[in-house]
Amino acid sequence: MRDGMNYRILLDSAKSCILASSVPRRQQFLIRCVGGSIDHRHRDMQALRSLEVDSQTVIRAITPALDPTRHKGQAGNIAVIGGCREYTGAPYFAAISALKIGADLSHVFCTKDAAPVIKSYSPELIVHPVLEESYNVGEEHKSSIASKVLAEVDKWLERFDCLVVGPGLGRDPFLLDCVSEIMRHARRSNIPIVIDGDGLFLVTNNLELVSGYALAVLTPNVNEYKRLVQKVLSSEVNDIDAPQQLLSLAKQIGGVTILSKGNSDLISDGDTVKSVSVYGSPRRCGGQGDILSGSVAVFLSWARQHILAADSNSNLSCKNPIVLGCIAGSAILRKAASLAFSNKKRSTVTGDIIECLGRSLEDISPAC
């Protein structure tokens, strides 16, 4: 609450400075380039620092104890919807990350071509070869196959604590139509949905799929964020006042949570903005966003249990479990990336980071 107030005060003072100024935007830009850039960067850093959240406290609060009375599934049953002819790595990274953090079960719903490949990476994952791409489906069979796909997913849907839609999904129109329908069903059942990768391509062009759904998380990278801002706010990305723009974007999509990935990860649910800048890694190998999506799915499921059990007595200032899950997922990924980089340096790849997820969580919230 106090964080939110500080942030609003910060925004109000920033807005009044801009309004009071008679210097046009272009001139302000030139002034910054010539002389004011150091001052400006300093102010940006200060603004971000004031939004920085104590992620370790969040992780400790929401990570459940390993209690012998709990049964399989209670620590999380996650499903990734993704994996097609081109991409088999991304859904694997997301699903295995969920397990390595502590979920009990992790499923992947992918195309028939991708399934044997993903299964061969790991026997730990439950892989459903149910999705179809256009090249495999005659026009006359599309409607019956779409119903079949949906029926296959529906059999499982109610058991999931969270869906991750998009890692390695591809952009085939028929496949995306089926996934839209899966999202509508998940939404009707109040299942949280983390949307990443090609799921963001789908949602950016069909905002009604998530608009007003408070259990949706969008995790855009720089490209995906740019497309979302252009579509929703009809403007360009504003690096000068990134938190304010993110807040407006989340509000405009009806209170979904957005985790905007970058040097600092910024998180907003349209009500508040948080920043996670825990030191990560200078390596930008592909797949780190996929780890993040699987991690957020587990942590938000744990955060929902925590908030429910604490019955408003949680000592965390933020009470939105979706935001808490994003904070925890971002911090753990960054810590794991930092550990992996300290061992592997330039040869660090996504698998190395996944191997460090367990230790990263253990350092903050020991299992016993």
Ligand X SMILES: NC(=O)C1=CN([C@@H]2O[C@H](COP(=O)(O)OP(=O)(O)OC[C@H]3O[C@@H](n4cnc5c(N)ncnc54)[C@H](OP(=O)(O)O)[C@@H]3O)[C@@H](O)[C@H]2O)[C@@H](O)CC1
Ligand Y SMILES: Nc1ncnc2c1ncn2[C@@H]1O[C@H](COP(=O)(O)OP(=O)(O)OP(=O)(O)O)[C@@H](O)[C@H]1O
Q: Which string of DSSP letters, residue by residue, matches 292-350?
A: HHHHHHHHHHHHHHHHHHHTT--S-S---HHHHHHHHHHHHHHHHHHHHHHHHGGG--H
The helix/strand/coil state of 101 is helix
- The residue range among 104-112, 235-243, 305-313, 329-337 that interacts with ligand Y, by the rule CB under 6 A, is 329-337
Residue 280 found at the interface with ligand Y (CB under 6 A) = yes
Residue 89 found at the interface with ligand Y (CB under 6 A) = no
In whole angstroms, give the CA distance from residue 178 to residue 275: 35
Q: Is 224 annotated as a binding residue?
A: yes
The helix/strand/coil state of 90 is helix
In whole angstroms, give the CA distance from residue 238 to residue 138: 45
Q: What's the sign of the alpha-carbon dihedral 362, 365, 366, 367?
A: negative
Nearest Cα residue to 163 out of 154, 171, 172:
154
Answer for which of 100, 128, 187, 261 binds ligand Y (CB under 6 A) is 261
At closest approach, how far in Å is the CB of 179 from ligand X? Answer: 12
Residue 63 found at the interface with ligand Y (CB under 6 A) = no
At closest approach, how far in Å is the CB of 289 from Mg ion? Answer: 3
Q: 262 contacts which partner out of ligand X, ligand Y, Mg ion, none, CB within 5 to 8 A by kind?
A: ligand Y
Q: Residue 75 or 210: which CB sits closer to ligand X?
A: 210
Q: Is 285 annotated as a binding residue?
A: yes
Which two structure tokens, joined as six digits, stand for 119?
């299964």
Residue 199 found at the interface with ligand Y (CB under 6 A) = no
At closest approach, how far in Å is the CB of 16 from ligand Y? Answer: 31
Contact residues for ligand X (CB under 6 A)? Answer: 87, 89-90, 167-171, 197-198, 221, 223-224, 286-287, 289-290
Q: Is 286 annotated as a binding residue?
A: yes
Residue 28 found at the interface with ligand Y (CB under 6 A) = no
69-88 residues near ligand Y, rule: CB under 6 A: none
Answer for which of 143, 263, 313, 315 binds ligand Y (CB under 6 A) is 263
Contact 338, 280 (CB under 8 A): yes
Q: Which string of DSSP letters, residue by residue, matches 225-266?
A: HHHHHHHHHSS---STTHHHHHHHHHHHTTS-EEEE-SSSEE
Residue 288 found at the interface with ligand Y (CB under 6 A) = yes
Which two structure tokens, joined as six digits, stand for 125?
């994952």
Contact 348, 341 (CB under 8 A): yes
Structure-token match 């210097």, residue found = 23
| Conformational region of residue 186, where left means phi above 0, alpha means psi within -120 to 50, and beta covers everything else | alpha
Answer for which of 129, 199, 270, 289 binds ligand Y (CB under 6 A) is 289
Q: Residue 197 or 243: which CB sits closer to ligand X?
A: 197
- The residue range among 19-27, 148-156, 180-188, 283-291 that interacts with ligand Y, by the rule CB under 6 A, is 283-291
Q: Is 255 annotated as a binding residue?
A: no
Residue 274 found at the interface with ligand Y (CB under 6 A) = no
Write out the binding residues for (6S)-NADPHX. 168, 221-227, 290
Interacting residues toward ligand Y by CB under 6 A: 197, 221, 261-263, 265, 280, 284, 286-290, 292, 330, 333-334
